[in-house]
Amino acid sequence: MITIEEARRIILSAIHPLGGEEVPLLQALGRVAAEDVVSPWDIPGADHSAMDGYAFAFASLSAGPLAVCDVIHAGASRDEPVPKGCAVKIMTGAPIPPGCDTVVPVEDVRLERERIFLRGEVRLGDHIRRRGEDVTAGARVIPAGALLRPQEIGMLSSLGRTAAQVFRRARCGVLSTGDELLQPGSIPQPGKIINSNSYSIAAQLLEAGGEPVMLGIARDDREETRRKIGEGLQADLLITTGGVSVGDRDFVREALLDLGGEIRFWKVAMKPGKPVAFAMVRGKPVFALPGNPVAAMVAFEQFVRPALLTLMGHTQILRPVVRGVLTEPVRNRGERPHLVRVAVRLAEGRYQVAATGEQGSARLSSLTSGNGLVKLPPDTALAAGSEVEVQLLDRHFEMGAP
């Protein structure tokens, strides 16, 4: 068996970003820029007033109160120079007219008989946004590989863009295997279980920005398993759950080999998730995850998610890690690293960490009641108060989710 880190290295060495596509601006949110974005113009495009106030030549102040000779509203402009000894009333965002080099806010002025008297000190150049002080023409404002957040969308729109060139979303086949599986909506029967794996994995794909392609269930038959996996190879990436162990009716490994696949690893030293495999089949990455729901989801986090994000051009591909303090003891009596499901909360300026009860690999409740993972080395016991690193799983954690 190989380590989690070695398995991840093998996977990422085989993964390369997909091509780019142009999408409408709002659809680019959360996607990754596939090209450098260069500004075609200065922003602002001219000197503008930063305040509602009065614009004038600073040198005119020595002559006493200034006469108000014009008004410039936002969206309007004045091409004629403002005479010495005069001021123009100007609105925020309006261009500074010729002959003016200073703005004083309206609240710092007393107006009497169309002349302004200043209430305080004024400095040359006050309250003017200079041309190009935000962005200059020809500057790279968004590099290729940048995540497009709301602020990048705003920048693109300020450059006149209505669309953006982004890395393509990965289409990901999702296939569950097993005669025991029933689709959601079915009534439970003896010896049967509801297929939750396809939906939890599809949800993880969606949360990471991928596009799941639901392939249904492959029964425990070698030919059907091979056919279903073959269908899944039309996607950019394929994920199977179940059928990857060593049972008499586990056919995923054989099906991958039948299709000409190269299995890069099979089994990882981790709990849960030991029976996980990664293969390249016809140039497509295939992840064969365990059938137990928690094991499948934990393996997805460690291996599939980083590969998926790499396909879509992301450079930040690992979940954030924080240091926290255990509120209760935890122990790993096994010979493999144990990824313990934990609940993390911020209290009194520190992250407090507690295990989510029984840690069986089929207990989805150990994930639904938590938001992180703690990697506990083999044969390790940690007392309450011990400091641990926590891989955060919940993207809404910072918003106060439990």
CATH number at residue 256: 3.40.980.10
Q: Are 151 and 33 in contact (CB under 8 A)?
A: no
Q: Within this chain, do residues 327 and 286 fall inside the same structural domain, yes or no?
A: no
Does 240 fall in a domain? Answer: yes
Locate 178 and state its tokens. Answer: 């097993």
pTM of the model: 0.89
Q: Across-strand partners of 33?
A: 166
39 — phi, psi (to 5°)?
-75, 130
Average pLDDT over residues 60-69: 92
Q: How many domains does the structure of the chain reveal?
A: 4
**Average pLDDT for 345-357:** 93
Distance of CA 214 to the CA centre of its chain: 23
CATH of the domain at 36: 3.90.105.10
Q: Which of 297, 318, 298 is nearest to 307 (CA)?
A: 318
Taking residues 364-391, report their average pLDDT: 96
Q: Is the pLDDT of residue 402 over 50?
A: no
Mean pLDDT, the chain, rounded, equals 94
With respect to residue 234, please indicate whether it lies within any of the assigned structural domains.
yes
Relative to beta strand 163-167, strand 140-142 is unpaired
Same domain, 160 and 30: yes
Over residues 102-118, the pLDDT tens digits come to 999 999 999 999 999 99
Judge if the upstream peptide bond of residue 272 is cis by omega within 30 degrees of 0: yes
What is the structure's pLDDT at 248?
61
Tokens of 264: 């890069």
Q: What is the mean pLDDT of residues 59-83?
A: 94
336-344 mean pLDDT: 97
Kindly tell me if the per-residue pLDDT of 78 is higher than 70: yes
Q: How far apart are CA 10 and CA 284, in angstroms?
A: 14
Amino acid in the structure at residue 180: E
Instruction: Yes or no: say if 244 and 269 are a contact pair by the CB < 8 Å rule.
Output: no
Q: What number is the average pLDDT over the span 330-341?
A: 96
Give the pLDDT score at 244: 82
Q: Are 150 and 33 in contact (CB under 8 A)?
A: no
Task: Give the C-alpha separation, 299 to 345, whole Å.
Answer: 24
Domain presence at residue 285: yes
List, in sequence order, every residue forming a beta bridge with 387; answer none if it has no partner.
Answer: 325
**Residue 119 forms part of a structural domain:** yes
What domain range is 261 assigned to? 4-18+169-311
Q: Which of 311, 335, 363 is the last residue of a domain?
A: 311
Mean pLDDT value across residues 338-347:
95
Query: What's the confidence (pLDDT) of residue 247?
Result: 65
Q: Does residue 316 lie within any of the structural domains?
A: no
Strand pairing partners for 83? none
pLDDT band at 101 (very low <50, low <70, confident <90, very high): very high
Q: What is the pLDDT of residue 245?
A: 74
pLDDT digits (tens, 9 = 90+) for 352-361: 999 999 888 8
Q: Is the peptide bond before 44 cis (omega within 30 degrees of 0)?
A: yes
**Domain finish residue from 281, 311, 341:** 311
**Strand ranges inside 296-368, DSSP E:** 321-326, 330-332, 338-347, 350-355
What local confidence, expressed as pLDDT, does residue 397 receive? 64
200 has a pLDDT exceeding 60:
yes
Question: Does an H or E element contain 148, and which?
Answer: none
Same domain, 252 and 377: no
Give the span between the Cα atoms of 123 and 236, in whole angstroms.
Answer: 61
Asked if pLDDT for residue 246 goes beyond 70, the answer is no
CATH number at residue 391: 2.40.340.10
Residues 121 and 9 reside in one and the same domain: no
* CATH code at position 77: 2.170.190.11
